[in-house]
């Protein structure tokens, strides 16, 4: 899928030369969505008229010989927790039904400044909590490779839109794996950028200290292009980095040191998944890299630390949904405001969201704060040190993105089952490093992805490794 299709830059070039019509291209995407999305349900909102109008305008400018942007005519699917002015933003939740943001997120503003075409808003697990897209209040998304299976999550709609060639590019958000998991399950590329590399202004928050907006694509070149456009300092996000420079960037495969995180290949990892990822490591070795074994001593604490921190931050972030300021409101028949707030939250939040608000409030409450939250932050600091040490020996660390193949819809039922499969992706969020999922093939017809991690702001290294791997055949 997609390997042989032209890159975004080639398409832009041909639109600029008027060899192809931007309007026709966008119209054919919209048609494809209408045809395919009945089965897949990647989109919650399709911006048909807006997309066509913008495409026409680009054609007009190309005709006049004016400059067009680096994403001119390229269709982009945007996860429904990223604000696009004038389009609904539900976060996959009933509580935000009817909310239409009056402004663009910085990432959207930057995409549009380069004439990228927002095709619509994509389905997601409610408030980005999950890795199957099953917890969306608007029904699940299906995996384009196998309609009985989940596309991964929480950015499942974005991944399915790209894998199904309904969009060339997509934006997702990754708090603990939500870009990489669906990228892996849908056989596309997905990047969780370095913390602070991409502005979060206009991203409806789940857990601020962990998450980043990340690009998704079928080709490395396109992924790198989109990342280059959305990243960079933004004064409207106080956590956005001013100097996004890597201490060291290695872009040559010759002598590149790759560390395989062995702990991620053991118990809980399906054998076929581990094998394909190790084979990919062998191929990287064939391309000139040296492959060794990396150890991160405290890795076993990462999953617990992640869920404590993520739920704590979520409980505070989600307190703003009271039925007054945004979205849905159940005030009819309520005796007073407190009752109206409680009814809105009880009736409009899904089960998983409520579970996390309760657990998050618990770990932050007096007497438990030290036992849970503070301990989790200590584990996080320790992990940061250990990753730092590993990166003195290796340029890139490698592991399976997901330990399992995409499950069937309805197969992941208990919260613990759901949390456990995040075990390989959450460490990068806890320590803030960039991490990229790259497709490495199929087992029993289902996609498998490898995860590559680099030191802070080492995205260029990840793109270089992925590009060599992509070009190997």
**Where do contacts with ligand GLN occur on this chain (CB under 6 A)?**
128-131, 154, 174-178, 206, 310, 422
Give the nearer residue to ligand GLN in terms of CB position, either 204 or 310: 310
Three-state DSSP string of 70-105? CCCCCEEEEECCECCCCCCCCCCCHHHCCCCCCCCC
Which residue in the shown chain puts its C-beta closest to ligand GLN?
178
CA 228 to CA 177: how far, in whole Å?
Answer: 21
Distances from the Cα of 35 to the Cαs of 32, 44, 55, 164, 165, in angstroms? 5, 15, 20, 11, 12
Q: CB atoms < 10 A from the CB of 328, how many?
A: 17
Give the nearer residue to ligand GLN in terms of CB position, either 128 or 464: 128
Give the nearer residue to ligand GLN in terms of CB position, either 129 or 163: 129
CA 120 to CA 43: how far, in whole Å?
Answer: 7
Give the nearer residue to ligand GLN in terms of CB position, either 283 or 377: 377
Q: How far is the CB of 129 from ligand GLN (least distance, A)?
A: 4
With H, G, I as helix, E, B as strand and everything else as coil, classify residue 9. Answer: helix
Q: How far is the CB of 319 from ligand GLN (least distance, A)?
A: 18
Q: CB–CB of 5/221 below 8 Å?
A: no
Strands (DSSP E) found in 350-433: 396-400
Q: CB–CB of 188/218 below 8 Å?
A: yes
Give the nearer residue to ligand GLN in terms of CB position, either 131 or 424: 131
- 396, two tokens: 């890139």
Q: How far is the CB of 13 from ligand GLN (least distance, A)?
A: 35
Q: How far is the CB of 178 from ligand GLN (least distance, A)?
A: 3
- 1, two tokens: 């899928």
Catalytic residue positions, numbered: 79, 154, 178
Q: How far is the CB of 213 from ligand GLN (least distance, A)?
A: 11
Q: How far is the CB of 175 from ligand GLN (least distance, A)?
A: 3
Give the nearer residue to ligand GLN in terms of CB position, either 52 or 420: 420
Q: CB–CB of 434/459 below 8 Å?
A: yes
Question: C-alpha dihedral over 117, 36, 443, 178, to 10 degrees?
Answer: 40
Q: How far is the CB of 249 from ligand GLN (least distance, A)?
A: 26
Ramachandran sector of residue 367 (left: φ over 0; alpha: ψ -120 to 50; beta: rest): left
CA 16 to CA 355: how far, in whole Å?
Answer: 51
> Can you spell out the DSSP letters for 341-368?
HHHHHHHHS-HHHHHHHHHHHHHHSTTT
Ramachandran sector of residue 381 (left: φ over 0; alpha: ψ -120 to 50; beta: rest): alpha
Give the nearer residue to ligand GLN in terms of CB position, either 222 or 422: 422
Q: Which of 415, 401, 377 is nearest to 274 (CA)?
A: 401
């Amino acid at each position: 899928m997609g390997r042989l299709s032209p890159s975004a830059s080639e398409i832009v070039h041909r639109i600029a030369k008027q060899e192809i019509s931007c309007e026709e291209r966008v119209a054919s995407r919209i048609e494809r969505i209408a045809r395919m999305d009945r089965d897949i349900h990647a989109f919650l909102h399709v911006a048909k008229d807006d997309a066509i109008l913008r495409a026409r305008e680009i054609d007009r400018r190309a005709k006049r010989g004016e400059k067009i942007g680096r994403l001119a005519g390229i269709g982009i699917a945007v996860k429904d927790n990223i604000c696009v002015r004038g389009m609904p933003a539900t976060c996959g939740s009933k509580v935000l039904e009817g909310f239409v943001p009056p402004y663009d997120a910085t990432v959207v503003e930057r995409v549009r400044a380069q004439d990228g075409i927002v095709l619509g808003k994509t389905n997601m697990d409610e408030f980005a909590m999950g890795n199957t897209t099953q917890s969306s209040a608007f029904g699940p998304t299906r995996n384009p490779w196998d309609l009985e299976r989940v596309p991964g999550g929480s950015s499942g709609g974005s991944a399915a839109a790209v894998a199904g060639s309904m969009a060339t590019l997509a934006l997702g958000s990754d708090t603990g794996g939500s870009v990489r998991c669906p990228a892996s399950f849908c056989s596309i590329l997905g990047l969780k950028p370095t913390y602070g590399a991409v502005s979060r202004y206009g991203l409806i928050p789940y857990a601020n200290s962990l998450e980043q907006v990340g690009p998704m694509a079928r080709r490395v070149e396109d992924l790198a292009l989109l990342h280059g456009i959305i990243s960079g300092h933004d004064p409207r996000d106080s956590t956005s980095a001013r100097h996004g420079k890597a201490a060291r960037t290695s872009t040559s495969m010759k002598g590149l040191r790759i560390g395989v995180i062995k702990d991620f290949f053991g118990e809980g990892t399906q054998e076929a998944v581990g094998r394909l990822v190790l084979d990919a490591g062998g191929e990287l070795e064939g391309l000139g890299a040296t492959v060794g074994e990396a150890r991160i001593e405290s890795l076993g604490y990462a999953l617990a630390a992640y869920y404590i921190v993520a739920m704590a931050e979520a409980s505070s972030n989600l307190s703003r949904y009271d039925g007054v300021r945004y979205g849905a409101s159940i005030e009819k028949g309520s005796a007073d405001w407190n009752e109206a707030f409680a009814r809105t939250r009880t009736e409009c939040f899904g089960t998983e969201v409520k579970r996390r608000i309760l657990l998050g409030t618990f770990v932050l409450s007096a007497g438990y704060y030290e036992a849970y939250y503070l301990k989790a932050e200590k584990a996080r600091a320790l992990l940061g040190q250990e990753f730092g040490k590993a990166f003195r020996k290796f340029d890139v660390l490698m592991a399976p993105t997901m330990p399992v193949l995409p499950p069937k819809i309805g197969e992941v039922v208990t919260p613990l089952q759901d949390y456990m499969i995040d075990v390989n992706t959450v460490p990068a969020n806890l320590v803030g490093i960039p991490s990229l999922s790259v497709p490495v093939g199929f087992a029993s017809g289902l996609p498998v992805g490898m995860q590559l991690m680099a030191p802070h702001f080492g995205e260029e290294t990840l793109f270089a490794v992925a590009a060599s791997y992509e070009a190997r055949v």
